[in-house]
Amino acid sequence: MPLFSRRPSLPAAIRARFALPSGDRVLVAAELTDGRWAAAARRSLYVAGPDGDVLRRPWSDVDRANLAPETSTITISWVDGGRAELALAGPGASPFAQTLRERVQSSVVHSEIVALPGGTEARVALRRNEDGQLVSQVIGSAGVDLADPTVAARVDAAEARVRSAAGLAV
């Protein structure tokens, strides 16, 4: 570690609990205000406390994330509709947020916004999962009813275009 580094060092006991897969490595880590640690690795986001469970989510599970600089809090929106807040302690918010953004963006191969009836929209994305395989995702805004035949037809057509653009089976 450099002599004058200001970045917090991930405790070895926490790093060991991440059980990183072969070929993966931690890119940046940050201590959270509640005593947990968050780490952005090449393939996944990890969050762990000193003695508790480890949350491990691949980057393809992250829909978006926003940093509130005034509170150093990162709000993560998952593709399944859930949310998580990471309140970072100390000076590591900006580098951690930047790395998080880069990892999420690197998982997106291609995407298309689909305008739907009633002014709603959905996003169809082709993303690289943690194993490097391409998967398609449909992420709808609030009120999107995928059971509606008109909505389903538009989303299915967009998914076919996105998969076809990457040479994948439709």
> According to the model, what pLDDT value does residue 23 have?
87
Instruction: Note the pLDDT of residue 7.
Output: 54
Please indicate, yes or no, whether residues 19 and 87 belong to a single structural domain of this protein. yes
Token pair 């690289």 in the structure block, residue: 128
- Pair (78, 99) in one structural domain: yes
- Locus of tokens 């998952």: 78
Sign of the torsion angle spanned by Cα atoms 34, 40, 44, 50: negative
> Concatenated DSSP letters for 65-125?
EEEETTTTEEEEEETTS-EEEEEB-GGGHHHHHHHHHHHHHHHEEEEEEEE-GGG-EEEEE
Same domain, 64 and 87: yes
Using an 8 Å Cβ cutoff, are 36 and 47 in contact? yes
Q: Which one of 67, 86, 105 terminates a domain?
A: 105
Residue 117, in any domain of the structure: yes
Residue written as tokens 């709603």?
120
Could you read off the pLDDT tens digit of each residue along the chain, which spans 170 residues?
455 555 568 899 999 999 999 989 999 999 999 999 999 999 999 999 877 889 999 999 999 999 999 999 999 999 998 999 999 997 768 899 999 999 999 999 999 999 998 889 999 999 999 989 999 999 988 889 889 999 999 999 999 999 998 888 88
This prediction has a pTM of 0.86
